[in-house]
Each structure stands twice: as C-alpha cells, then as structure tokens.
Amino acid sequence: MGQYIDPKIGQVVDLILSDYEDERTVNRIDIHNQPDKAAVIDVVEKLLKILYPGFYSDKIYKIYSLKNNMSATIEDVIYHLKKQIAIVLKYNENNEEAAEEELDEKAGDITLAFMKKIPEIRAVLETDIDAAFEGDPAAKSKAEIIFSYPGLYAISVYRVAHELEVLHVPMIPRMMTEHAHSITGIDIHPGAQIGKYFFIDHGTGIVIGETTIIGEHVKIYQGVTLGGLSTRGGQKLSGVKRHPTIGNNVTIYSGASILGGETVIGDDVTVGGNTFLVNSVDGGTLVSAKKQELKYSNKRAHKKPSDKDKTGK
C-alpha cells in the first residue's frame, strides 16, 4: 500500500511546488522582506504592558524591580518595532529604491517618534476608562474595566495603531487592529479619528471605517456600523471621505448603521437601536426607528389535535 501511495504523494508535492513559480501575490516567498505577524502581535502585547504597567506586567517580578522590568520591555519594543517598520517601509513607493541603511535610519526615527507619544496615549486612555466607568453602572471599578472589557482592549490597540498610521507606517497599524478585531469582534480601522472619552459597551460586531471622525464623549453599543455607502469604486475611493462624522456627546445604540462620508451626526444626538442613517442629523436630535408591529397568537389555539385527543384516550 505504501509503495502505491508514495509516487502519488511526490506528484502532489511537485504540483504544488510548481504553482509557486509565477508572479502572483500569493507566491511571494521572500520571507526576509515581509513583516512578521507574530512579532507584531508580540509588540502589541508588550505595548499593553507599557500602557498599563500594573495590569499587564509579569507577576513574577517584585514591585521594587518594576522600573527595571519596564525599562527592558520598552527597549525590547523599540528594537523589534524598528525592525518590523524597516521591513514594511519597503512597501511605500517612495522607498522602493532606498538602501537598507536609509530605511533602517528612517525606521529608527519613526519608532522613537512613536514611543515619545506613549505618555499622550496613556492620558487619552485614562479618559476612555473614565467614560467606561461613568457610562456603565455594571462596572464595579476602573480596574475591572482594564482587566476585562473588550471595548477598552480594542480602543487601546487602536490608539497605538493610529499613532503609527499618522506616522505613515504601512501595514503594521492594520495588523495591530485586526489582531484586536480577532480577539474582541470590534473592528476599528487605525485611520479613524476618535476623540477622548470614547466608550464601547459590549462591543461585539462594531465596525468603524477608515475615514470615520468621532468627537468626544461618544458612546457606542454592540452591532453599530460606521461605514461607507458603497465600495463599488474600489481603489478609486482610496483617500476619499467615505465614512460618517460623529459629533460630541453622541450615543449610538445597538444595531444602528450610519453610512456615508457626507453624513454628519451633530452634537448631543441619540441614535436609537436598529436605525439606518445615510443623511445628516442636526444636533440635539433623538433618532429612532418606528416600532415594529408585533403579532401575538395563542400557540395552544393553533395546536392540531393529537391522536390521543381524537380518541379521547
């Protein structure tokens, strides 16, 4: 049996290997010129330790060595993030002919500029934690929010990825937010602009598109889509404002869809659940869908008599 199968296995191996020989995207095998997804995810997890040192740091370290531990973590992130940025910079058209030394130096400058933003990112995240605590009566403490809320996890990764996006780093910001998406079910594009005191409650199924602009003190529930009207234009729409603008002090309840780059939701608006908006809404408005007509019927009245009912037995 083995002698019969072995030649067939060899044929299959040769068939697949020969399929790698053309110029299709899926055949790119120059692994040293591609970012390492596992390394990027590791950077994300280490950045969370830097953002929340008392919550994500390794518990094996004693408190008096926390500073030394964090120093090592920061240096580790700088080293590995710089390495990954140097690789992805090759994907920029302007850098296709650049020398390795030039890309390495540019990656170093970007990495240091990003790391200097960490205190600012932490200050904004403090407002997001405040918004979650004030906005959710089920929250028993701010520590509970940091430890367990998927919304804060997704926002934290977004805040980091957005700063890299602002620094024109290709690919890595999206890899970071898609990692958070895979864990939380919350899809926030790193290009979105989101103000302070942002709260995502429950979160599963939320989509926030690339050109979305969100003001301060905004609260969003599960299943909300801030999306584009159509992607039929494909790459021609790249860079075009395709997603809505949300003002300050806005609450958007579960299942709502707000679509289109020209759609502006004014300040102090409440958008009810399961609404569908493609037009702008003035400030101070309550938007709600017309209540569905519910029909009730007695199940017993429609029940067919069984054989037992017919015979009386």
Residue 161: inside a domain: yes
Residue 4: inside a domain = no
Asked if residue 78 is part of any domain, the answer here is yes
Domain ranges, residue 165: 34-186
Could you tell me if residue 273 is inside a domain? yes
Q: What is the pLDDT of residue 189?
A: 98
In a shared domain, residues 67 and 148: yes
Does 244 share its domain with 157? no
Q: CATH number of the domain that 271 lies in? A: 2.160.10.10
Task: Name residues of the chain where pLDDT drops below 50.
Answer: 1, 313
Same-domain status, 43 and 179: yes
Domain count, the chain: 2
Residues 194/219, Cβ–Cβ less than 8 Å: no
Domain check: are 159 and 250 in the same one?
Answer: no
**What pLDDT is stored for residue 112 in this prediction?**
97
268 shares its domain with 135: no
Both 141 and 237 in one domain: the answer is: no
pLDDT, residue 36, reads 93
pLDDT at residue 4, rounded to an integer = 58
**Residues 53 and 116 both lie in one domain:** yes
Phi-psi region of 203 (alpha: psi -120 to 50; beta: other; left: phi over 0): left
163 and 271 in a single domain? The answer is no
Nearest one of 127, 135, 114 to 155, comparing CA atoms? 127
The DSSP secondary-structure symbol of 248 reads: S
Tell me: do 175 and 73 sit in the same domain: yes
Dig out the tokens for 19 from the structure. Answer: 């399929």
Instruction: Provide the pLDDT for residue 172.
Output: 97
Both 228 and 263 in a single domain?
Answer: yes
**Taking Cα atoms as reference points, which of 220, 264, 222 lies closest to residue 243?**
264
Domain harbouring 65, CATH code: 1.10.3130.10
Q: Are residues 182 and 50 in the same domain?
A: yes
